[in-house]
Amino acid sequence: MGFDVDEVLYPWVATLRHHLHTSEGWPLDRMPEPTRYGFGPDWGMADDAEFLAHAVATARAGLLHTYGDPLEGAAEVTHRLVDAGHTVHVVTARRYDESYGVNAVLADSTRRWLERHDIAFTTLDLELDKTAVPTDVYLDDRPDHVDALCAAGTRGVLMDSFHNQDPSCGRERVHSLAEFADLVEEMSANPATC
């Protein structure tokens, strides 16, 4: 099975907010809880390039992907699944254009963060294409990733998050990591596909 990291296991938005507040002096009230995936304009960022510049600066500062506790149940659920005989593949899109020079830092900091918080995993891959690592079931917070996974024959499950609240979204959804583990156990007893 597969897990995304950001907003599935890791509090990415809270970490970016912390960095912008402590390192850049942004007031917290400038950074409300996001309601969509491309929330940069809601925080006063002019465009995607400015958002990316802040994310890269946070990575270079060694904060992004190292700061913050896991989302509730991350260690317990991953161990529960490994103990039940499953392999856990962490596949994250934590990858930037090579010209930024931060991908090795991101891979290392992600691995250290997972290990520091005792999150069980078999493999860690930084891949923009979540289908690059074959899995039977995968949990992600982005509807487009879930669609691609299902199209590739994986049971893609959407982790409920701030940016995927479209009421017309009919994708299979869970509201917690524990709910996902229950779904996997049910699948193991009664296999299903997308």
Q: Is 160 among the residues known to form the active site?
A: no
Distance, CA of 170 to CA of 125 (rounded, Å): 28
CB 181 within 8 A of CB 80: yes
Q: Would you state the structure tokens that stand for residue 114, as one six-digit string?
A: 């997972």
Q: Would you state the structure tokens that stand for residue 168, as one six-digit string?
A: 């017309």
CB 57 within 8 A of CB 2: no
Of 6, 47, 108, 182, which is the active-site residue? 6
Decide: residue 55, CB within 10 A, 0-12 exposed, 13-18 middle, 19+ buried.
buried
The maximal CA–CA distance of the chain, rounded, in angstroms, is 52
Q: Is 4 among the residues known to form the active site?
A: yes
Q: Which residues are catalytic?
A: 4, 6
